[in-house]
Amino acid sequence: MYDDDEPLFDPVGYDDEYDNELLPESIVLGDSVDDSALTDRRRNCLFIAVSILLIVSLVGSSIIILFIAVRNDGWGVARERVERVESGPTAAPATVAAAVFTPLPVVEPIDSPNLPEINRIAIINQDGQLETMSPVGTDRHVLTLRSDRVVYQLPTWAPDGNHLAVVGNQPSGGGVYVLEDVPPGEPITIADRRIYFSDNQPPFYLYWSPDGDRLAFLAEHSRGLVGLNVVDKSGIEAARVLAIGSSIHWDWSRDGRQMLVHTERSRSNRSLTLVDMSGQAATGNLAVPGDFQAPGIGQDGRYWAFAERTNDGLSALVVVDTQSGGRQAYDRGGSLALGWSPVRDQIAFTHSAPNSHPLWGPLRRLDVATGEIRVLSSQAVLAFFWSPDGRSIAFITLSRDTNDTDISAYKEDGIRRANRVAFVPVQRPGRTMLTLSVIDVESGTGLRLLDFQPTVAYLSQFLPYFDQYALSHRIWAPDSSAIVLPVREDDANRIYVVPTDGRRPYYLADGAVAFWSRN
């Protein structure tokens, strides 16, 4: 699948010569150590200051302005543009300002069905149309046509891998479309594949239920608010509004009957509730939400995780056991982003320092059974994504000096074990912005895979809300061997497949965004 005779991927303008000896070596992780997505306007000054520093450090790369602006203004901007860490078990932080809440429902584990292998990638091509293909670019299915005068964005695969949902925008409004991934055949009427449409409440984010029977989506609402809607995949019944707020993030229960919803109407008006498909709250307010975006439900449904505000105004990572009703607070700090392992009761998270850039911070892993927190990377991590097998985490940072290959934490003996990057480009000022790395969660071995300039859609729509998108959209291959990545290269948007063992990335297609099927 990977042809070593192919030209080396040049994400930042490589020279023709490169060092063949710079092959990946393992780094050893240190021993155990110790926005809402939609951040509010009070951080304007901070974001402006950070923006200036980033722009200077990136030698004038202008595209970073989009990322800062979007993180500052929340989902709205994306819509308008197409829209001292302790060792061992961690002691609970300062007292959590917990809300009074009703008893939690008992959650029974849900067995995942065995699904056939699909292994396909969906992209939005240079014409704003939806295509799917094999991981090597063959067997291409063009699912939408430019002649329909609809521009699409951020497709998401259904759990069965046979269908996709995608947002489509046109001058008269925006809609949700469900398309079967089949080879081109008889012409279809795209309106027949539409399950929701509105001229004044266009959708901008989609998330399938785990059983694939429903789609939950966010759409614009009145007076600058957004609505959380749910609709049957057939579109026979009208969409129902389940919640309204200035920002909304959620995770589905494993049976697809409920959602753990974090809603914010204002800085002082936030809630975390379990909501059923009628919009009724199955619980009262579960917490006084801290500064975070998406809550998370563990791989078998037993544990929930979120950020809760402490009495000192910080945000603590809290894990709730829905079977025993117990709750434990862990690491606290500024804003929090979290993500559950898909196979174990472990949480990856970043905690920003108070009054610093929201969500950015060292990457840590919490083992819920032991309470142990381990630092995986001491860099300021912008986004992270678990591999499907739960062995690795891919993460994104701001690009650094190519000679600085450290991506992990310090060891307790103070010795830093560094590895070489997979491929070292010749640096060209203003071109490279971000770095993609991967680390093995248990062994601590890791690799800095690639320095790259992201596409505008990836930077402005996907990365600012990565913790929510990590629930609904997959960048990893089903077998955890590679990552699909949109890159801005030679003034064009291109999709590359990046093997996570350090082999050469290869060109897949032209396009703005791309996502892998779940199976």
218-229 per-position pLDDT tens digit: 999 988 899 999
Residue 50 phi, psi (nearest 5): -60, -40
Neighbours of 139 (CB within 10 A): 10
> So what's the pLDDT on residue 149?
94
More confident residue, 411 or 316: 316
> So what's the pLDDT on residue 330?
95
Q: Are 454 and 398 in contact (CB under 8 A)?
A: no
The model carries a pTM of 0.80
Q: Is pLDDT of 94 > 50?
A: no
Q: Alpha-carbon distance 99 to 287, whole Å? A: 5
Closest Cα partner for 346 from 363, 323, 324?
363
Q: Alpha-carbon distance 220 to 226, whole Å? A: 5
Average pLDDT over residues 291-299: 96
> So what's the pLDDT on residue 353?
87
- pLDDT tens for residues 163-197? 999 999 999 999 999 999 998 776 678 889 999 99
**pLDDT averaged over every residue in the chain:** 79
Confidence of residue 143 (pLDDT cuts 50, 70, 90): very high
- pLDDT tens for residues 119-138? 999 999 999 999 999 999 99
Which one-letter DSSP state was computed for residue 136?
A: T
Q: Alpha-carbon distance 45 to 58, whole Å? A: 20
Average pLDDT over residues 266-275: 89
Confidence of residue 354 (pLDDT cuts 50, 70, 90): confident
| Bridge partner list, 373 | 366
Closest Cα partner for 23 from 511, 503, 356, 509?
503
Q: Alpha-carbon distance 342 to 346, whole Å? A: 9
Lowest mean pLDDT among 112-116, 260-264, 448-452, 456-460: 112-116
Which one-letter DSSP state was computed for residue 370?
A: T
Q: Is pLDDT of 54 > 60?
A: no
SS3 content of the chain, % helix, strand, coil (to 5): 10, 40, 50
Buried/exposed code over 171-193 (b: 16+ C-beta within 10 A; e: otherwise): eeebbbbbbebeeeeeebebeeb
> So what's the pLDDT on residue 322?
94
> So what's the pLDDT on residue 78?
38
Confidence of residue 280 (pLDDT cuts 50, 70, 90): confident
> So what's the pLDDT on residue 14?
29
Which one-letter DSSP state was computed for residue 32?
A: S
Q: Alpha-carbon distance 375 to 32, whole Å? A: 7
Q: Can you spell out the DSSP letters for 466-493?
A: HHHHHHH---B-TTSSEEEEEEEETTEE
Output the six-digit token pair for 505. Answer: 């990335």
> So what's the pLDDT on residue 1?
42
More confident residue, 46 or 204: 204
Half-sphere exposure of residue 412, counting CA atoms within 13 Å on the CB side?
8
More confident residue, 9 or 194: 194
The dihedral formed by the CA atoms of 429, 71, 128 and 240, expressed in degrees to the nearest 10 = 170
Q: Alpha-carbon distance 425 to 10, whole Å? A: 8
Closest Cα partner for 267 from 36, 518, 65, 31?
36
Q: Which fold has domain 41-516?
A: Methylamine Dehydrogenase; Chain H (2.130.10)
Which one-letter DSSP state was computed for residue 313?
A: S
Average pLDDT over residues 424-444: 75
Q: Alpha-carbon distance 274 to 266, whole Å? A: 20
Lowest mean pLDDT among 49-63, 153-167, 348-362: 49-63
Closest Cα partner for 211 from 340, 113, 341?
113
